[in-house]
Amino acid sequence: MAGKIDAYIDCVSPYSYYATLYLRRNRDALRSHGVEVELHPVFLGGINVGSGNKPPWTLPAKASYSKFDSERACKYFGVPQIKTPDFFPILSIMPQRCMIYIKRHYPQERYETTFLSLWEWMYHKNIDISKPEKLAELLKSHNYSDQEIKDILESAKSPEYKEALTANTQKALDQGAYGAPWFWVRNKEGKEEPFFGSDRFAFMWQYLGIPFQDVTIVEKAKL
């Protein structure tokens, strides 16, 4: 395909959730314009450290604004209002490494729907999926077998998947990332540029030369 959107996302980031839902809903339209979408798990904590940024909720003014922003985003993206979980923020390293394993070993649809359920369990069901036993339950609900669940969870401790998450995170940092969702976008002319945030899709469509009316699917999330 001529165009490509590489999306760098972390399950700890609700804006990564909205962006993922939106890109998936509009994937057919994007394909019809020759644009492919790929989701890359990253470690947002590493992006913050590497870029010298800090999570928005640690700055009081941003934290109080984010209540309005988050409510509007949920409304816009058709997601039930999210509630900051009691255990927030989680250490997302383990689930993110597992997502890389699943991406490498399973079909794209299975990978992406499993990824989406990390947010659903955390933000809608208030379940801490950074705990291995909870993540195992989540995987079970997606019909992974006991052996598969064992392999997936073991992968999170292996050097191969530690390095893979570090490499994805470093790749985003090298592109200038300072938060999530981060996007690296190639257009039909072969030019490439970064985009930050689930609220910058209008700029992205302009860059990709896609008419806005073709990529406006924001229907309700199926939960």
Ligand X SMILES: N[C@@H](CCC(=O)N[C@@H](CS)C(=O)NCC(=O)O)C(=O)O
Which residue lies nearer to ligand X by CB, 106 or 178? 178
In the bound state with ligand X, the residue whose beta carbon lies nearer, of 44 and 149, is 44
One DSSP character per residue, 199-219 reads T-HHHHHHHHT--GGGS---P
Q: In the annotation, is 198 catalytic?
A: no
Q: State the binding string over 122-151 for ligand X (x if CB under 6 A, else -).
A: ------------------------------
Closest CA to 165 of 110, 105, 89, 98: 98
Choose, by CB under 6 A, the member of 5, 7, 9, 13 that binds ligand X. 13
Q: Among 85-93, 119-127, 146-154, 176-184, which window interacts with ligand X (CB under 6 A)? A: 176-184
> Applying CB under 6 A, does 20 fall inside the site for ligand X?
no
Residue 56 interacts with ligand X (CB under 6 A)?
yes
Q: How would you list the strands of the sheet with 35-41, edge to edge?
A: 35-41, 3-9, 182-186, 192-196
- Residue in the structure block whose two tokens are 């980031």: 13
What separation in angstroms does the CA of 91 have from each of 43, 45, 174? 9, 8, 22
Work out whether 64 is an interface residue with ligand X (CB under 6 A): no
Cα separation, 114 vs 12, in Å, equals: 15
Residue 88 as a binder of ligand X (CB under 6 A): the answer is no
Annotated active-site residue in 13, 92, 117, 130? 13
Q: Is 199 in the site for ligand X (CB under 6 A)?
A: yes
Among 6, 8, 11, 14, binds ligand X (CB under 6 A): 14
- Find where tokens 């989406």 sit: 116
Asked whether the beta carbons of 181 and 8 are under 8 A apart, the reply is yes
Q: How far apart are CA 36 and CA 185, in angstroms?
A: 10
Of 151 and 199, nearer to ligand X (C-beta) is: 199
Smallest Cα–Cα separation from 11: which of 37, 41, 53? 41
Q: Does 53 bind ligand X (CB under 6 A)?
A: yes
By the rule CB under 6 A, 15 interacts with ligand X: yes
Active site amino acids:
13
Under the rule (CB under 6 A), what is the footprint of ligand X?
13-15, 44, 53, 56, 73, 178-180, 197-199
